[in-house]
Copies of this chain bind each other. A is one copy, B any other.
Amino acid sequence: MPKIVECIPNFSEGRDAGRVEELAKVAKSVPGVTLLDYSSDASHNRSVFTLVGDPDGIAEVAFQLCKKASEIIDMTKQTGEHPRMGATDVVPFVPIREVTVEECVEISKKVAKRVWEELAIPSFLYEYSAAVPGRQNLAAVRKGQFEGMPEKLLLDEWAPDFGERKIHPTAGITAIGARPPLIAYNINLDTSDLEIANAIAKAIRGSSGGFKYCKAIGIMLEGRNIAQVSMNMVNCEGTPLYRVFEAVKFEAKRWGVNILGSELIGLAHSKALIDCAEYYLQIEDFDYDTQVLENHLI
């Protein structure tokens, strides 16, 4: 089976369709790499690309995208609701098939080195690639944003992992790293009481004592007048979808609230879903790699 790595670079441009198309053209230009999806958000002024390819191809396309973004995005003029620190803001590499997290860490370092040497853009290694404690968390790395970075980089603990202690004048600085597959998963409750969704979110998320790899908040779906537990499942091997689903169900019972349904946003890896079938159908001795026909076709 071939090695497949996913890369989901985020760019600080979500309003100028012409620039986004320039990035898309680069995203499609590397053999062995497929652009699965790209979408832009105007209020965030941000675009997210989803690519898959072999390790060499994905490293090449990630570099070429950083290069193009540095040519067409000027962070000194960029505004938007989403926190950001660079033209290419963050470049995560995700192991999909026959690839370890360690190999993705190597890819991230290779790309970060080249981005500094050839483009003079410094970078922080984050998540699994973090070499310094406190850099696993992207939010902590990005704190201060583009405008605050010149000052932040001079602090003892915030030297970039690659590059000097000053940002690229227009492209800023980029976070690059390996992370597990992430799934955006929401559960809709049969209540219009946001406080119940918030209480359930607090019960299940890792940061407040729940499941380690689950991030969760309560939000209102105004159109349907129902509350939702909105989650980022950052590692479905460690915290499977069925486990949070069952936990939300039993927590909701506390208030006599039922689950109306759930939503899977964007792409999910088949294993995260098939793991749930395996759980609910109580399948004994199931082997995902060999027993799923499609895994032989990739």
Q: Which of A195-251 contact B (CB under 8 A)?
A: 241-242, 245
Bound CA–CA A111/B297 (angstroms):
24
Tell which of A259, A266, A291 has the most Cβ of chain B within 10 Å: A291
Interface residues on A, range: 35 or more
For A6, what are the chain B residues with a Cβ–Cβ distance below 8 Å?
293
For A242, what are the chain B residues with a Cβ–Cβ distance below 8 Å?
277, 280-281
Tell which of A241, A266, A278, A297 has the most Cβ of chain B within 10 Å: A297
A298 and B293 within 8 A (CB): no
B293 and A269 within 8 A (CB): yes
For A273, what are the chain B residues with a Cβ–Cβ distance below 8 Å?
273-274, 277-278, 292
Determine which of B52, B188, B259 lies in contact with A293 in the assembled complex, contact meaning CB atoms within 8 Å. Answer: B52
Question: Is A71 interfacial (CB-CB < 8 Å)?
Answer: no
Which single residue of chain B is at the shortest CB-CB distance from A272? B277
For A4, what are the chain B residues with a Cβ–Cβ distance below 8 Å?
297
B296 and A295 within 8 A (CB): no
> What 0/1 readout, one digit per residue, does chain A (255-290) give for beta carbons within 8 Å of chain B?
000011111101111100110111011111110000
Question: Is A64 interfacial (CB-CB < 8 Å)?
Answer: no
Question: Is A157 interfacial (CB-CB < 8 Å)?
Answer: no
> What 0/1 readout, one digit per residue, does chain A (179-190) give for beta carbons within 8 Å of chain B?
000000000100
Number of chain copies forming the complex = 2
Question: Is A26 interfacial (CB-CB < 8 Å)?
Answer: no
Which single residue of chain B is at the shortest CB-CB distance from A273? B277
Chain A to chain B contacts (Cβ below 8 Å), 30 pairs: A36-B293, A52-B293, A241-B277, A241-B281, A242-B281, A261-B283, A261-B284, A262-B281, A263-B283, A264-B286, A264-B291, A267-B293, A267-B296, A268-B291, A268-B292, A269-B292, A269-B293, A269-B294, A270-B270, A270-B274, A270-B292, A270-B294, A273-B273, A273-B278, A273-B292, A276-B281, A277-B280, A280-B280, A294-B298, A298-B298
Other A-B pairs beyond A52-B293, A242-B280, A273-B292, 14, CB < 8 Å: A52-B297, A97-B297, A241-B277, A245-B280, A245-B281, A262-B282, A264-B283, A268-B291, A268-B293, A270-B270, A270-B294, A273-B273, A280-B280, A294-B295
Q: Could you tell me which A residues sit within 8 Å of B by CB distance?
A: 4, 6, 34, 36, 52, 96-97, 188, 241-242, 245, 259-264, 266-270, 273-274, 276-278, 280-286, 291-298
